[in-house]
Amino acid sequence: MRMSKMHFHTLREVPNDAQVTSHVLMMRTGMIRKVSPGVFNYMPLGWRSIRKFEQIVREEMDAKGAQEINCTALHPAALWEESGRWYKYGPELMRLQDRMGNDYCLGPTHEEIFTDIIREEVTSYRQLPINLYQIQTKYRDERRPRFGVMRGREFIMKDAYNFDKDEEANNHSYDLMFDAYSRIFTRADLDFRPIEADNGPIGGSASHEFSALAEVGESEIGYCDTCDKAATTERLECVDDPAETEEMKEPVDEYTPDCKTIEDVANFLGLPATKALKALMYKAEGKYYVCFIRGDRELNEIKLINAINVPEFALEFMDEAEIDEIGGSGGFCGPVGLKNCTIVADSEVPGLRNMVAGANKVGYHTLNINYGRDFTADIVVDLKKSKAGYKCPKCGGTIQITRGIEVGQIFKLGTTYSEAMHAYYRDENMEEHPIWMGCHGVGITRTIAAVIEQHHDDKGIIWPVSVAPYHAVVTVVNTRKEEQMEVGMKIHDALKAEGIEVLIDDRDERAGVKFNDADLIGFPVRITVGKKAGENIVEYKLRKDEEATEMSSEDAVKATVEFIRSELARLAHDPVGDEV
């Protein structure tokens, strides 16, 4: 392929709205072009990398016995109302109406559509198990699109749905997808970790997130430095400190003027933050919730959402009037005397002794508050956000914190959707049972961004061979020199005959522009044809290396073929065929 005939345009300047490396480089290389916030067109180089990664996904899914289909992106609201998610999914659901006033949404995920297919076509245990998948554009009404294709309003995703007769079979399907995902991201040359994750609006009983480690990742990951425990901090359980044994003292109200924060109160009273009860006041779906947690801890809102069983979008902080309504006081709220609200206490709170808490009147806190004697909670549950240095809940080791980009997630859905939408099968005795389900997503465009985040330098992208838009570029320094073009085309044709995806840079540009573009785009191999073309000598350079090597054109072809094939072999073993 001649670059002079290609549609691509690189940028020298960093786009103003690009905040992370992958966004900068995808824009500068011409892989993507912005249409509106969170919406992009994929240009030739970007689309080639996307299609390559899609092929990796297809190969690994097919090897597990999954079957590819293609479903509508336009979903009737009636299906989402059946599952209960028309409301629960919240404002990120792209909703629209047809000319007759019928409600629809643009699918961010396809549980309802796939469940509807199966309930219409599967009636017997003999038809199970089934695993269907698709690769399709999804839609999400992001409040604040950011980080390029990592957090957009539309994105390409592979979503798969397995259907089984019982829990044992469903667990087997989950394990197959776990293995497939591990192979998919290995083939993309990602440094990733499978970690326990929260199920979020998808629902179900268990989930693993596949996270590509990166400083810019939106996922915060806690992992043990001793054992294999790893989870998002949203999901990671926290170990309570041992219950305190000191004798309970009598409560005393203390004047604490202008002390509205834990730090203010602790400093004023000369107490550590561990002796304070932190109050956080929320409302959701017409109800009030007051949470209490030790003063040095941070509340994990996802754990609270799961404890009170409300959608994430529904949780809000109370305003001053609502705090007054429950008998509290802004900045001085405590657990004694509250009304018309649900008190949610962190699991550590019952074991604390002689705590200081708000007295529910302006300017006062109460000392020596104790759980059981002075107050109780309606819900007691782990509400703490895990932090570096906390104890591992599995082995007692030390938790470390890192960040990652969520590139895939697998879920055990159980019978959540099949029961809601009546997707049942009949067993050997003609008795009806709900179908067990799982769903599994790979972020196609998000993974390409994650690859760039992990594989780049100050010059541009350094593509892994498996997802590079082209394997090699032949850079002709001076296209007006006939001998340079002849050698360049000979190398191009020889590589193409060996199955190497190759470009020849025959543009009428300065050599520096061509070299800069080759480094920016990140072709794994660059062969430069210059002044020594008449001697059949060229420069051979790998993008990941600093130095180039002079050799004959034939040796350059041979070296390129060997490198590309060895890299593909390193990243991809034969798919493991363990069918559903």
Residue type, 102: N
pLDDT of residue 235: 84
Distance between CA atoms of residues 328 and 338, nearest Å: 6
429: CB partners within 8 A, 6+ apart: none
| Degrees to nearest 5, angle at CA 396 with 394 and 399 | 85
Q: 283 near 354, Cβ under 8 Å?
A: no
Closest CA to 225 of 389, 404, 406, 386: 389
Point out which residues pair with 541 in neighbouring strands: 526
Q: 485 near 479, Cβ under 8 Å?
A: yes
Q: Following DSSP, what letter does each residue of 120-136 receive, concatenated?
A: HH--BGGG--EEEEEEE
Q: Following DSSP, what letter does each residue of 263-289 receive, concatenated?
A: HHHHHHHT--GGGBEEEEEEEETTEEE
Q: Taking the domain 252-381, which CATH number applies?
A: 3.90.960.10
Distance between CA atoms of residues 513 and 520, nearest Å: 10
Output the six-digit token pair for 107: 């699918």
pLDDT of residue 580: 45
Q: 438 near 413, Cβ under 8 Å?
A: yes
Distance between CA atoms of residues 14 and 272, nearest Å: 47
Chain segment 101-113, per-residue pLDDT in tens: 999 999 999 999 9
Distance between CA atoms of residues 256 and 360, nearest Å: 12
Distance between CA atoms of residues 193 and 208, nearest Å: 10
**Sequence ranges of the domains in the chain:** 15-191+412-453, 252-381, 470-571
pLDDT of residue 219: 84
| Degrees to nearest 5, angle at CA 22 with 20 and 27 | 100
pLDDT of residue 190: 96
Which CATH architecture fits 470-571?
3-Layer(aba) Sandwich (3.40)
**Strand ranges inside 362-452, DSSP E:** 364-369, 379-381, 399-414, 424-426, 432-434, 436-443
pTM (2 d.p.):
0.89
Pick out the chain residues at pLDDT < 70: 199-205, 573-580
Cα-based torsion angle of the residue sequence 367, 368, 373, 376 in order, rounded to the nearest 10 degrees? 60
| Degrees to nearest 5, angle at CA 277 with 276 and 283 | 150
> So what CATH class is 15-191+412-453?
alpha beta
